[in-house]
Amino acid sequence: MTNIVTNIAETVESHGNNAAIGFQGEETSYEEFWAQSGAFAAALEEHGLGEDDRVAIYLPNVPPFPIAFHGTLRAGGVVVPMNPQYKAREIGHLLADSEAKVVVTLADLVPFVEEVRDDTDVEHVVSVGGDADGATPFEEFLVHADPEITDRADDDVAVQPYTSGTTGQPKGVQLTHENLTSNATAASELIPDGIRPDDKQLGVLPLFHIYGMTVVMNATLFNGGTYYAVPEWDAQNAVSIIEDEELTIMHGVPAMYNDVINQPDAESFDLSSLRLCGVGGSGIPTEVLRTFEDLYDVEIYEGYGLTETSPITHFNSPIDGRRVGSIGKTVPGVDSKVVDENFEEVTAVESGPIDEDEADLDGITGEIVVSGPNVMNGYYRLPEANEEAFTEADGTRWFHTGDVGYHDEDGFFYVVDREKHVIVTGGYNVYPREVEELLFEHDAVADAAVVGIEDERRGETVKAYVVPTPEADVSPEEIKEYCLENLAEYKHPREVEFVEELPRTTTGKVQKFKLEEREVAAE
Ligand code: ATP
């Protein structure tokens, strides 16, 4: 069924006594979860809110998030998830643009809402974890009743997340009930045995982001498993939770797996309860994947997608015979291809992955475009952005991912890098990811990011930021030499700088624009 809440109602029927949510050692059963999300829906309805009204959820991963999320949908509303790290200026735009009527947030974050409230349509602020001026505590807001599920059509918008704004103002992404339901269902079907009622998933990925929201929370709740909410990423804490609660599935971004293997006591962790792991959000360096798999004897399956595609479009499933380094095949029901600038399909290579160093990437790579029931309705009230994001061809509406990739004759896809990250140096294209993969293979490198910096002669030149391991005994010069020995001359970083850490988003992506800005500021 395409209505998200109907799927949850079915799980309540079939697995009412199972734990739906785990949090700090406490569990909430499906029956209790249903009652609480019903109470949130009833509260909205009592205030005259319902169909198409926007409810902003500005929370870390705590139980009120899924309760308010599914309560809003039950009342027919639209969820606007907001990053809890955002400050007043950042939420101001999201609240005004979405015309949210309700904000659910931590008591500590209420002052940020109050700061911008006059410029928005916010009528109710609901506080979690305490009282705050201008807000109603979460428990007092609830109205204990059991309202009907509001009927929603497949293409009615259910959630409106915002892009992170690395390429301009954040854009509201309109995701429908069908977009999200099809993807949560696919996320479960692509793994061995599907998600089972006895599965317990680690919930470290932020719920405001599509990966945590769909692949972890909704896919778990559609299948009677337990979603174990963890508000903040901390490798030691995550490992303790996996060990103590005997969690069976972990999803994370590459930086999380890298953090775990870089803990001083990494070899002593007992992660034997995990039956599988998933990764996405950015490409995982093969070295990190292999080390984690060897240490803990569990496979990591890579997925690929975007907020605009709800998110998964490709998955490197063991069911398809996974190939490390690939993002896998296009998921069932979704269509994808690689096109050149004239929207002509690029020929598949015989069998991937290709050795990027030797192959001429021209003519083999192009932009990955996708279509399917998971692709967003469009950006909210941004006709020009929608014009750019889609191409109509052969009766199909194709979405441009902005990622450079290629595919092989067996249907496996490979992401080379993001189009906007490509470094053009002296007429050559350098894909930072290739250089980063090499850096991760060096024993002294704990973390690395490669960016293009301005260069008078070459236009741009390659620079690597490296976080050395604590025991490392190398100089930036030696890292440069190592790259030069292993890469074509034009690709090697002409500058290597050691840093203590890399700037990352809450979803673990390196904020390359910050590294680039740093360069400009230093000039
Ligand atoms: P914004 O689009 O606002 O800049 P964002 O990058 O955080 O923000 P998301 O929708 O979270 O937006 O990310 C989608 C992008 O993440 C993809 O276009 C791709 O570049 C990258 N990505 C996701 N999964 C993978 C993967 N497995 N391998 C390589 N890149 C990936």
pLDDT at residue number 375: 98
Token pair listed for 49: 């809110």
Residue 281 Rama label (left phi>0; alpha psi -120 to 50; beta): left
Q: Are residues 459 and 505 in the same domain?
A: yes
| Residue where a domain terminates, one of 419, 441, 473 | 419
* Lining residues, ligand 1, CB within 6 Å: 163-167, 280-283, 302, 304, 306-307, 327, 401-403, 415, 418, 507, 509
Task: State which ligand 1 atom lies nearest to the alpha carbon of 314.
Answer: 27
pLDDT in tens, 158-191: 999 999 866 667 999 999 999 999 999 998 999 9
CA distance 337 to 326: 15
20 domain-assigned: yes
326 domain-assigned: no
Distance 368 CA to ligand 1 centre (A): 12
Q: Are residues 168 and 218 in the same domain?
A: yes
pLDDT in tens, 348-384: 988 878 876 655 677 789 999 999 999 999 999 999 9
**Ligand 1 pocket mutation, candidates 82, 86, 164, criterion most atoms within 8 A of CB:** 164
In this structure, the number of other CB atoms found within 10 A of the CB of residue 521 comes to 7
CA distance 197 to 223: 6
pLDDT in tens, 406-417: 999 999 999 998
Task: State which ligand 1 atom lies nearest to the alpha carbon of 302.
Answer: 27
Q: Residue 469: is its pLDDT beyond 70?
A: yes
Q: Are residues 340 and 438 in the same domain?
A: no
DSSP string for residues in 353-413: ---TTTS--TTT-EEEEEESTTS-SEETT-HHHHHHHEEEETTEEEEEEEEEEEEBTTS-E
387 domain-assigned: yes
| Residue where a domain terminates, one of 207, 232, 257 | 232
Q: Which domain holds residue 146?
A: 4-232
For the whole prediction, is pTM greater than 0.90? yes
Q: Residue 299: is its pLDDT beyond 60?
A: yes
Distance 245 CA to ligand 1 centre (A): 31
Q: Residue 521: is its pLDDT beyond 80?
A: no
350: CATH: 2.30.38.10
pLDDT in tens, 17-66: 999 999 999 999 999 999 999 999 999 999 999 999 999 999 999 999 99
| Residue where a domain terminates, one of 172, 199, 232 | 232
What average pLDDT is seen over the chain? 94
pLDDT at residue number 133: 96
Phi first, then psi: what are they for 508, rounded to 5°? 80, 10
pLDDT at residue number 1: 60
Give the number of domains in the chain: 3
ipTM over 0.90: yes
496: CATH: 3.30.300.30
Q: Are residues 366 and 412 in the same domain?
A: yes
- Nearest residue (by CA) to ligand 1, atom 16, is 281
Distance 281 CA to ligand 1 centre (A): 5
pLDDT (average), residues 477-494: 93
pLDDT at residue number 358: 54
Question: Is the Cβ–Cβ distance between 425 and 459 less than 8 Å?
Answer: yes
- Nearest residue (by CA) to ligand 1, atom 31, is 282
pLDDT at residue number 232: 95
